[in-house]
Amino acid sequence: MAERIPEELQQKLIERLRFYEDIGIRLFFRDRGAGAHADSPAAAASRAEVQKEETILAKTVPKYEPRKLAPVAPRKMDVFPVPSGPSLFEAVNKIADDSLLKIRTDLGDCTRCKLHKGRNKIVFGDGNPKAELLFVGEGPGADEDAQGLPFVGRAGKLLTQMIEAMGLQRKDVYICNVVKCRPPENRAPEKDEVTTCSPFLLRQIDAIAPKVIVCLGSVAAQTLLETNRGISHFRGQWLEFRGRKLLATYHPAYLLRNPSAKGEVWKDLQKVMSALGLEVRKSKSS
């Protein structure tokens, strides 16, 4: 009798498949290898082991049923539909004369959610406190947790290249995340963590008062738009957040795994450049 996969792992597999569906990936394949060694005893043994694993998965993992989503046709600068119930930001009012320094002081050595237990440093944000362009990511990774600065790892280097391709420098923009502490194993922030930390993000946005907000990835977009729709449903479209222009695009970490999506992100960034009055070049080297 095949050994059953633990329910927790089953759920993670299902959630990962849903994540891939949301970003438009529906087909997977495994490169079984080819060439001179394809028929070697070692290769045959490897294929047998792979087939055995796939047989076990087929018997033990529940069949994945794609979620049915209503068609979306957002209008330019439309306010994205908000689910019923109290708003995540309902109780957060704009504070007179608020500043990033005050917000950081209020955040303090935060222990408001469980993420503080595994963090090394709080990653508050970095850049121009009066920037016209604000990038919002998901949460710190290992490099960010070590340095206390957002987007400094591999994905951060790619984001820096993206900013420079727009004709700007990192010091010209502001960069922050939905949550300020690194989630374990770089997992997505959980609902209670987002609820606890997001009021500080909202205060950051109000204090900076950017002209344009760019959400990097699903978590940032879903948090500010208060929706559970996948980013593929509204990526690259102008939306509105508290009277400001908002555009969602793929996270740089996604581009590291899927370089072919860089062209789509560049189109999104060109829209941002136009909104900021920056010169839009016709092409960009990959």
Residues 6+ away with beta carbon under 8 Å from 75: none
Structural domains in the chain, CATH included, are 7-60 (no CATH), 100-276 (3.40.470.10)
Say how far apart CA 127 and CA 161 lie, in whole Å: 15
Q: Is the pLDDT of residue 43 over 90?
A: no
Q: What is the pLDDT of residue 16?
A: 64
Number of Cβ atoms within 10 Å of the Cβ of 127: 22
Q: What is the pLDDT of residue 34?
A: 46
pTM: 0.69
Give Cα 172 to chain centroid, integer Å. 22
Q: What is the pLDDT of residue 95?
A: 78
Say how far apart CA 76 and CA 73 lie, in whole Å: 10
Listed residue (235, 237, 266, 228) closest to 19, CA to CA:
228
Per-residue pLDDT tens digits for 155-188: 999 999 999 999 999 999 999 999 999 999 999 9
Q: Is the pLDDT of residue 123 over 60?
A: yes
Say how far apart CA 182 and CA 163 lie, in whole Å: 24
Q: Is the pLDDT of residue 202 over 60?
A: yes
Per-residue pLDDT tens digits for 10-19: 776 776 666 5
Q: What is the pLDDT of residue 99?
A: 97
pLDDT tier for residue 74 given thresholds of 50, 70 and 90: very low
Per-residue pLDDT tens digits for 221-271: 999 999 999 999 999 999 999 999 999 999 999 999 999 999 999 999 999
